[in-house]
């Protein structure tokens, strides 16, 4: 078993600790090169620059980035499949795609160098969570067009760890492997990890006695309450990792052992926070939409990509010594927001309320309906088997506490419905938290 104390800095993490001045120099040099590449090779970008009367030479400082046009998900859809590639197919070694919710997928490309950069940021992410050579990593992110599986796989190997490419599915077999292979670290979505803990309990397996010490969880929003739940019920440290297909996949940002925000590997992904309504750049410390520019990506550079993810950047020093800016955990995505009776609601708010109330399980779903023109919100929550078989009085009391907690967080009343354990579908990947039936006729 390996110990997850700091164990020294991984050589690949040197860029995490450079001085801020040095970092800004690297960023500017790379930004100028990437803008030139995009301008020369990507028609859409060249046209947009020309429309603004701009040429690559106008980017003289990092502040000039704010004058460049944004790129959005529809740009990727409109140029499907290969319209934003900056290199010929002969230089491209890998494609990934994201299914999205509607229409065509978006397609992204990598050169050999891009794949190597991706591995290097994943090594830095894992090393930041205290993982190192000698760890046995169970990788339950899906393998395939989704970036989670292969991204974590290559990163784990480059770290020097042993990677088990389990992918999704067959939960009981996963539990067997976790135990028999003496797994020390796991990668999967937080919701799937909850499912693993739950199934272990059902088959009488003592999860806490496993050598597992750390989990690197991401691909979907999860709250700090959920982290506490996982850390307590599995006796591991749970770290948050963030990324998106359009930028590279997992490894854009990751927590360190301090768990006080995710360090952005900003020598490769330059972050800005903007006001989502006006597009204006906001200073560090203000909440807004995260916009990312890839500083080194060759096959498909992304200039000012609007992620739709809402967060805040922190510039101050971190106790871990990294100079990279941190982003607050991504609790919200503007696309996930729904409006109910005029109030903006994010699923993570429901999760926060839920996890403050003892006796419920963190398996929930939000169901929206419309009756006679009026929107209704129902929060379906599983309760522990003990609670379910308890006296009516306990249930009524729990119901009241949960309704109140939800009302306090959301500022509206929601109907709360307790359901038996296992009623809410479990996911192998990203959990579906909201079922919107308002437009069903």
For ligand DLL, the binding residues (CB under 6 A) are 98, 141, 147-148, 218-221, 240-245, 249-250, 307, 309, 330, 333
CB atoms within 10 A of CB 159: 25
For CA atoms 208, 214, 220, 226, give the dihedral sign: positive
Nearest approach, Cβ of residue 364 and ligand DLL (Å):
17
Nearest approach, Cβ of residue 173 and ligand DLL (Å):
21
Please state, in angstroms and rounded to a whole number, the distance separating the CA atoms of residues 255 and 55.
Answer: 37
Please state, in angstroms and rounded to a whole number, the distance separating the CA atoms of residues 97 and 106.
Answer: 5
Which residue number, 56 or 331, has a Cβ lying nearer to ligand DLL? Answer: 331
Which residue number, 161 or 402, has a Cβ lying nearer to ligand DLL? Answer: 161
Three-state secondary-structure class, residue 36: helix
Can you spell out the DSSP letters for 115-155? HHHHHHHHHHHHHHTT--TT-EEEE-SPPSSSHHHHHHHHH
CB atoms within 10 A of CB 319: 9
Please state, in angstroms and rounded to a whole number, the distance separating the CA atoms of residues 387 and 385.
Answer: 5
Please state, in angstroms and rounded to a whole number, the distance separating the CA atoms of residues 80 and 262.
Answer: 31
Which residue number, 64 or 224, has a Cβ lying nearer to ligand DLL? Answer: 224
Nearest approach, Cβ of residue 331 and ligand DLL (Å):
7
- Measure the N-to-C terminal CA separation of the chain; round to a whole number of Å: 57
Nearest approach, Cβ of residue 391 and ligand DLL (Å):
38
Which residue number, 28 or 121, has a Cβ lying nearer to ligand DLL? Answer: 121
Which residue number, 28 or 238, has a Cβ lying nearer to ligand DLL? Answer: 238
Which residue number, 171 or 307, has a Cβ lying nearer to ligand DLL? Answer: 307
Which residue number, 56 or 218, has a Cβ lying nearer to ligand DLL? Answer: 218
Which residue number, 38 or 219, has a Cβ lying nearer to ligand DLL? Answer: 219
Q: Who contacts 351 (Cβ-Cβ below 8 Å, separation ≥6)?
A: 222, 223, 225, 226, 362, 364, 433
Q: Which residues of 40-64 are buried (b: 16+ CB within 10 A; e: fewer)?
A: ebbebbeebbeeeebebeebeebee
Nearest approach, Cβ of residue 220 and ligand DLL (Å):
5
Please state, in angstroms and rounded to a whole number, the distance separating the CA atoms of residues 134 and 438.
Answer: 51
CA angle 312, 219, 330 (to 5 degrees): 15
Three-state secondary-structure class, residue 384: coil
Which residue number, 106 or 354, has a Cβ lying nearer to ligand DLL? Answer: 106
Q: Who contacts 292 (Cβ-Cβ below 8 Å, separation ≥6)?
A: 247, 252, 269, 270, 271, 272, 302, 304, 305, 307
Three-state secondary-structure class, residue 273: strand
Nearest approach, Cβ of residue 141 and ligand DLL (Å):
5
Nearest approach, Cβ of residue 355 and ligand DLL (Å):
16
Residue in the shown chain whose Cβ atom is closest to ligand DLL: 218
Nearest approach, Cβ of residue 8 and ligand DLL (Å):
26
Please state, in angstroms and rounded to a whole number, the distance separating the CA atoms of residues 296 and 268.
Answer: 6
CB atoms within 10 A of CB 293: 27
Please state, in angstroms and rounded to a whole number, the distance separating the CA atoms of residues 387 and 379.
Answer: 17
Residue 359, token pair as written in the block: 């006796």
Which residue number, 114 or 240, has a Cβ lying nearer to ligand DLL? Answer: 240
Tokens 């590997």 identify what position?
Answer: 265
Nearest approach, Cβ of residue 191 and ligand DLL (Å):
11
Nearest approach, Cβ of residue 305 and ligand DLL (Å):
10
Residue 333, token pair as written in the block: 């995505």
Nearest approach, Cβ of residue 128 and ligand DLL (Å):
14
Which residue number, 32 or 297, has a Cβ lying nearer to ligand DLL? Answer: 297
């Amino acid at each position: 078993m390996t110990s997850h104390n700091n164990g020294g800095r991984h050589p690949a993490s040197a860029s995490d600790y450079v001085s801020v001045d040095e970092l800004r120099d690297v960023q500017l040099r790379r930004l100028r090169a990437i803008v030139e590449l995009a301008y020369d090779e990507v028609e859409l970008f060249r046209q947009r620059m020309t429309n603004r009367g701009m040429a690559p030479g106008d980017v003289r400082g990092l502040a000039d980035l704010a004058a460049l046009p944004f790129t959005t998900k529809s740009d990727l859809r409109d140029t499907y499949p290969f319209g934003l590639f900056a290199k010929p197919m002969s230089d491209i070694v890998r494609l990934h795609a994201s299914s999205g919710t509607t229409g065509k997928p978006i397609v992204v490309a990598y050169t050999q160098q891009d794949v190597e950069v991706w591995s290097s940021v994943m090594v830095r992410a894992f090393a930041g969570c205290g993982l190192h050579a000698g760890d046995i990593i169970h990788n339950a992110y899906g393998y395939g067009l989704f970036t989670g599986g292969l991204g974590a796989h290559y990163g784990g190997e480059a770290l020097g760890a042993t990677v088990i490419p389990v992918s999704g599915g067959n939960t009981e077999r996963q539990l067997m492997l976790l135990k028999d292979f003496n797994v020390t670290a796991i990668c999967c979505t937080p919701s799937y990890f909850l499912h693993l803990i739950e199934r272990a309990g059902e088959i009488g397996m003592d999860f806490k006695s496993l050598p597992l010490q750390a989990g690197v969880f991401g691909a979907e929003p999860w709250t700090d309450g959920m982290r506490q739940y996982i850390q307590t019920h599995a006796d591991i440290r749970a770290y948050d990792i963030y990324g998106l297909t359009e930028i590279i996949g997992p490894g854009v940002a990751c927590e360190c052992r301090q768990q006080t925000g995710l360090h952005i590997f900003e020598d490769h992904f330059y972050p800005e926070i903007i006001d989502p309504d006006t597009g204006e750049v906001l200073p560090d410390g203000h909440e807004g939409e995260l916009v990312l520019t890839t500083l080194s990506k060759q096959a498909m550079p992304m200039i000012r990509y609007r992620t739709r993810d809402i967060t805040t950047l922190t510039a101050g020093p971190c106790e871990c010594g990294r100079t990279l800016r941190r982003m607050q955990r991504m609790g919200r995505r503007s696309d996930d927001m729904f409006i109910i009776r005029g109030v903006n609601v994010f699923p993570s708010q429901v999760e926060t309320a839920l996890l403050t109330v003892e006796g419920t399980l963190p398996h929930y779903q939000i169901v929206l309906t419309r009756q006679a023109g009026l929107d209704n919100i129902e929060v379906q929550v599983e309760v522990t088997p003990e609670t379910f078989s308890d006296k009516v009085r306990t249930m009524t009391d729990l119901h009241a506490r949960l309704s109140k907690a939800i009302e306090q967080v959301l500022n509206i009343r929601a109907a709360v419905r307790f359901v038996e354990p296992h009623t809410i579908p479990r996911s192998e990947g990203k959990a579906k938290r909201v079922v919107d039936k308002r437009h069903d006729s």
